[in-house]
Amino acid sequence: MKLPIFIADAFTVTAFRGNPAAVCLLEDILAEDAHQQIAVEMNLSETAFIRKLQPTDSFAQKNTNSTLTFVTMSGELKARKAEDGIVLDFPLYPTFPQAAIGDTKVQDIRYSPDTRKLLVRLSDSYDRSFLETLKVNTEPLPQMEKTGRVRGLILTLKGEPEGQRAPYDFYSRYFAPWVGLSEDPVTGSAHTVLGSYWSQQLGKKELRAFQCSRRGGELDISLRPDGRVDMKGGAAIVLEGTLTA
Residue 65 is predicted with a pLDDT of: 82
Q: Which residues contact 46 (CB under 8 A, 6 or more apart)?
A: 19, 20, 21, 22
For 35, other C-beta atoms within 10 Å of its C-beta total 14
CATH superfamily of 91-231: Diaminopimelate Epimerase; Chain A, domain 1 (3.10.310.10)
Which residues partner with 77 through β-bridges?
70
Residue 74, amino acid: S
Residue 74 is predicted with a pLDDT of: 85
Measured CA to CA, the distance from residue 175 to residue 192 in angstroms comes to 15
Q: Is 46 a known active-site residue?
A: yes
Domains of the chain, by residue range, sit at: 2-88+234-244, 91-231
For 31, other C-beta atoms within 10 Å of its C-beta total 8
Q: Is 235 exposed, middle or buried (0-12, 13-18, 19+ CB in 10 A)?
A: middle
The highest-level CATH class for domain 2-88+234-244 is alpha beta
- Distance linking the first and last C-alpha atoms of the chain: 5
Q: Is 141 exposed, middle or buried (0-12, 13-18, 19+ CB in 10 A)?
A: middle
Measured CA to CA, the distance from residue 168 to residue 172 in angstroms comes to 11
Residue 165 is predicted with a pLDDT of: 62
Residue 138 is predicted with a pLDDT of: 94
Domains 2-88+234-244 and 91-231 agree in fold: yes
Which is catalytic among the residues 46, 132, 145, 160?
46
- pLDDT digits 0-9 by tens, 167-207: 899 999 999 999 999 999 999 999 999 999 999 999 999 99
Which residues partner with 156 through β-bridges?
121, 172
Residue 164 is predicted with a pLDDT of: 59
Measured CA to CA, the distance from residue 225 to residue 211 in angstroms comes to 25
Q: pTM of this prediction?
A: 0.89
- Which regions of the chain are under pLDDT 50? none
Nearest to 185 by CA among 68, 17, 4: 17
